[in-house]
């Protein structure tokens, strides 16, 4: 029964998700966090963050990790099958069909209509992740990270892997240096007591 639930969770995500890997995050979140409660939002945010540092589509990496966490190696295989199967079958059907209608206005309009829908879904997930980050880092630090990354991506156009590597470097080393240079009020009171 567990493997059937894993398969159905990722089958629904894979079947209903339009717009590529990042667009699948809200669907996976609904299945994994809200419906089956295998994880909470913070755990899913960590899976997405780590998954984005690895090569390949995010939806299959999430399916693999979550399937393994919930059902071991069999769960991993079942989740991957559930996520990939709808896409593979629908791509074969859709591409053979659309090849005949590629120049029709309704086919072009259908493709353009998906863009704002996916944009809104990504904005919602972005806001959820921002509030999760703010719980751990505080709003000022979270907003500073968002501004810095936005400026880097918009004006300096580095490869996203470079930005992620910089954020990991900051998380591992820079945060400790920052705390030594600028201790929080709580740390100052503890130092004064000792």
For residues 144 and 70, state if they share a domain.
Answer: no
Domain match, 129 and 57 both: yes
Q: What are phi and psi of 104, to 5 degrees?
A: -80, 140
pTM above 0.75, yes or no: no
pLDDT tens-digit series, residues 31-71? 999 999 999 988 998 898 888 777 778 888 899 999 999 99
Residue 148 shares a structural domain with residue 127: no
Q: What is the pLDDT of residues 144-193, one digit of tens each?
A: 888 988 888 888 877 877 887 887 787 778 767 777 777 766 555 555 55
Q: Please check the confidence at residue 194 and state whether its pLDDT lies above 60.
A: no
Mean pLDDT for 117-123 is 83
Q: Which phi and psi angles does 81 have, rounded to 5°?
A: -65, -45
Residue 184 belongs to domain spanning: 139-194
Residue ending a domain, choose from 137, 158, 184:
137
Say yes or no: 100 and 160 in one domain. Answer: no
Query: What average pLDDT does the segment 121-149 reach?
Result: 86
Q: Which of 74, 68, 73 is nearest to 51 (CA)?
A: 68
> Do 45 and 114 reside in the same domain of the chain?
yes
- φ/ψ region of 19 (left if φ > 0, alpha if ψ in -120 to 50, else beta) reads left
pLDDT on residue 187: 54
pLDDT of residue 54: 79
Q: Cβ distance 26 to 124 under 8 Å?
A: yes
Q: Which residues lie closer than 8 Å to 25 by C-beta, 6 or more apart?
A: 48, 58, 59, 62, 122, 125
71 vs 94, higher pLDDT:
71
Note whether 158 and 98 are same-domain residues. Answer: no
Domain stop point among 113, 137, 161: 137
What would the mean pLDDT of 109-117 be, rounded to a whole number? 79
Average confidence (pLDDT) over 116-122:
83
- In this structure, are 173 and 92 located in the same domain? no
Residues 9 and 80 in one domain: yes
Q: Which residue has the higher pLDDT, 125 or 193?
A: 125
- Residues 6, 73, single domain; the answer is yes
Check residue 18 and give left, alpha or beta (phi > 0: left; psi -120 to 50: alpha): beta
Query: Structural domain tally of the chain?
Result: 2
């Amino acid at each position: 029964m567990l493997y059937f639930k894993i398969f159905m969770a990722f089958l629904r995500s894979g079947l209903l998700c339009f717009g590529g890997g990042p667009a699948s995050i809200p669907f996976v979140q609904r299945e994994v966090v809200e419906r089956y409660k295998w994880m909470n939002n913070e755990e899913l945010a960590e899976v997405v963050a780590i998954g984005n540092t690895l090569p390949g589509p995010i939806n299959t990496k999430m399916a693999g990790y979550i399937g393994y966490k919930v059902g071991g190696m069999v769960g991993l295989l079942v989740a991957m099958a559930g996520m990939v199967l709808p896409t593979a079958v629908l791509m074969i059907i859709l591409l053979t069909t659309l090849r005949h209608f590629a120049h029709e206005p309704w086919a072009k309009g259908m493709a353009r209509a998906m863009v704002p829908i996916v944009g809104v879904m990504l904005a919602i997930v972005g806001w959820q992740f921002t509030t999760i980050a703010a719980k751990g880092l505080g709003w000022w630090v979270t907003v500073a990270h968002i501004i810095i990354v936005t400026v880097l991506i918009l004006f300096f156009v580095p490869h996203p892997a470079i930005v992620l590597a910089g954020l990991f470097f900051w998380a591992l080393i820079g945060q400790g240096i920052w705390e030594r240079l600028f201790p929080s009020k709580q740390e100052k009171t503890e130092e004064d007591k000792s």
